[in-house]
């Protein structure tokens, strides 16, 4: 589950925050595609649906719902870390850029 949570966090942050998918987010202007937490629920649901399809006898409907929400809960921590480091890097990049432009 931890591996899936890390994958969900990475996919959610990449899709909702990176410039790579900026045009797609503009095209799909729903809140779902702007918020990493909201998007993580759908990514988690898709991951567990694929898992349940491959291993149909190992997971009931209740287990499916618990796994989806537990995966999002575990994925929030890496999402916060990614957001924190991106914010710090942006701040330092602005400081470095402003000091070089002053020269």
Q: DSSP per residue over 55-71, as a string?
A: STTS--HHHHHHHHHHH
Report the pLDDT value the prediction gives residue 101, as an integer from 0 to 100: 53
Full domain range(s) for residue 95:
2-101
Asked if residue 97 has pLDDT above 70, the reply is no
Count: domains in the chain: 1
pLDDT digits (tens, 9 = 90+) for 23-82: 998 898 888 888 999 999 999 999 999 999 998 888 888 999 999 999 999 999 988 888
Per-residue pLDDT band for 86 (boundaries 50, 70, 90) equals: confident
């Amino acid at each position: 589950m931890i591996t899936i949570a890390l994958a969900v966090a990475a996919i959610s942050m990449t899709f909702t925050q990176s410039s790579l998918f900026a045009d797609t987010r503009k095209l799909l202007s729903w809140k779902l595609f702007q918020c990493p937490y909201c998007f993580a629920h759908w990514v988690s649901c898709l991951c567990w649906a694929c898992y349940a399809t491959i291993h149909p006898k190992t997971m009931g409907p209740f287990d499916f719902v618990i796994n989806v929400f537990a995966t999002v809960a575990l994925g929030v921590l890496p999402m916060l870390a990614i957001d924190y480091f991106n914010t710090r890097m942006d701040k330092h990049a602005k400081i470095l850029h402003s000091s070089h432009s002053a020269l």
